[in-house]
Structure 1
């Protein structure tokens, strides 16, 4: 009676019996896990025992009316700036792929300028536009104007924030959308044009639906970044989340607990957006990949890979 091995022996080598094989040990994983647990315990001890965090102050101001109102301003500014960025980004992406050299050059120049200058500088520039142009007019070029308004009155902090964040976001969205459009095979575009479809209809019915799978994930990341980028508007006296907590701790001198309040609210908002992004990614990736992207809840689960199943059946010769 002989036991057949699970692996065929190669020439010149004895057969290897894997019937009693065990998973490979990884002692350094346990060491690294112990180090992480020790550091996490020290951090938790610091958060609980250090009185300078002033958690009672954090709880008192967490749902204060002014803080909640600042959070609403942050969300409103995020929605408006992203809407401006997406709409203008689509136009810029199509312009960069246009056959017209003038449109293509102007779109590239826009992307080059707004991606090459900091968003904070752009915000301050729009807020101080009245120092460059005292009045804004609408009318015939080099002719009479029909509507005219004082720049300092027209450019409010909200409008300056929308212009600064929205126009800057449009440059990044243009590159994201352009990359998604280029991911669609050119053969499908040529086939649609051979059937008599116009370029606009081909873009709307053929190219964009397939490009969404490549556009949606980075767009979700841009939305999350936009929530955090709204904190820049505090330098132009826009009453967003950060400006609100700054106004409070400038009066009470409780800097750390008020900053913790802002951090908690930003984490709550970005976590909700991240969950929504994961669901949208899974929806657009159906049928495109063998394994769908992991959801937000999957990252919270600690899964242990099961050992391979070994057939221990013995056969008699």
Structure 2
């Protein structure tokens, strides 16, 4: 046991701390991109013109229906083969991961947003129209805030998933937590110790993310409209 702790302190933790910062720099922008896409696409699918709504439906079907690993391979390995004029579309491993995770997460989050929007009673829309609000004002000021509150638990759950499947970035050479752990395991041949600590790091990340999301949910609660817990 002493050997495990000394190896963890001397080798594992310093290596994973460097990978932890890379994982955070990957997860945060990917999560923000996913939320932005989810809200935008969800709103278009419910209230947008039919051609644009159908396009967004196709986007959601594509990114929910294909494996995330395949999507990452496309953004990193296949996209450079597509040229616009003389310019090749090349993404760094980090940016390929952010784009891949953001687009995939946004597709799932749009479903939660769409469900939240559809749960708003039509009477509120008619009342807003009677008050002289434009459709855009109605959606942005009345419907979307309520829908986002209702969709937040689902969107938060998707962000938790994003924290965990961010480990797939290592397959396109990103030196995140999993990538650093894999390199250390290969050089030390101490796979058990390394990946136990890697799992603990991800557990800590998920715990922090869940705590932050719970604070956001509490901040967005409206007194008298939220269900009370026993």
Question: Of the two structures, which has the highest relative contact order with CA contacts closer than 8 Å and spacing of 6 or more?
Answer: 2
Unaligned regions of 5+ residues in structure 1, if any? 1-50, 138-144, 295-317
Q: Residue in 2 aligned with 1:237?
A: 173
CA distance in 2, matches of 1:53, 1:221: 37
CA distance in 2, matches of 1:254, 1:241: 16
Among 94, 100, 107, which residue is 1:158 paired with?
Answer: 94
Q: Secondary structure at the match of 1:63?
A: helix
Among 54, 58, 75, which residue is 2:8 paired with?
Answer: 58
CA distance in 2, matches of 1:287, 1:98: 29
Q: Residue in 1 aligned with 2:156?
A: 220
Q: Residue in 1 aligned with 2:54?
A: 105
- The Cα of 1:99 is off from its aligned counterpart by 5.1
Please list the CA deviations of residues 238-282 of structure 1 after superposition, one character each: whole Å capped at 9, or x if unmatched.
111100111111111111111112111111111112122223333
Change (3 A) 1:278 1:99: closer
1:277 aligns with 2:210: no
Change (3 A) 1:233 1:204: same
CA distance in 2, matches of 1:209, 1:215: 10
CA distance in 1, matches of 2:113, 2:39: 7
CA distance in 2, matches of 1:110, 1:94: 14
Count of residue pairs brought into register by the alignment: 229
Change (3 A) 1:282 1:165: same
1:291 aligns with 2:228: yes
**Cα RMSD between the aligned structures?**
2.1
Please list the CA deviations of residues 209-246 of structure 1 after superposition, one character each: whole Å capped at 9, or x if unmatched.
22232122122212211111110111111111100111
1:91 aligns with 2:40: yes
CA distance in 2, matches of 1:130, 1:192: 45
Please list the CA deviations of residues 23-71 of structure 1 after superposition, one character each: whole Å capped at 9, or x if unmatched.
xxxxxxxxxxxxxxxxxxxxxxxxxxxx59923322333530x321211
Unaligned regions of 5+ residues in structure 2, if any? none
Q: Secondary structure at the match of 1:215?
A: helix
C-alpha contact (below 8 Å) 1:82/1:166 kept by paired residues: yes
- The Cα of 1:131 is off from its aligned counterpart by 6.2
CA distance in 2, matches of 1:52, 1:231: 29
- The Cα of 1:77 is off from its aligned counterpart by 0.8
Q: Secondary structure at the match of 2:224?
A: coil
Q: Secondary structure at the match of 1:97?
A: helix
* TM-score in terms of structure 2 length: 0.91
Among 247, 269, 294, which residue is 2:183 paired with?
Answer: 247
- Listed as ranges, the matches of 1:90-239 within 5 Å are 90-98=39-47, 100-130=49-79, 132-133=81-82, 135=83, 137=84, 148-151=86-89, 154-239=90-175
C-alpha contact (below 8 Å) 1:85/1:169 kept by paired residues: yes
Change (3 A) 1:249 1:188: same
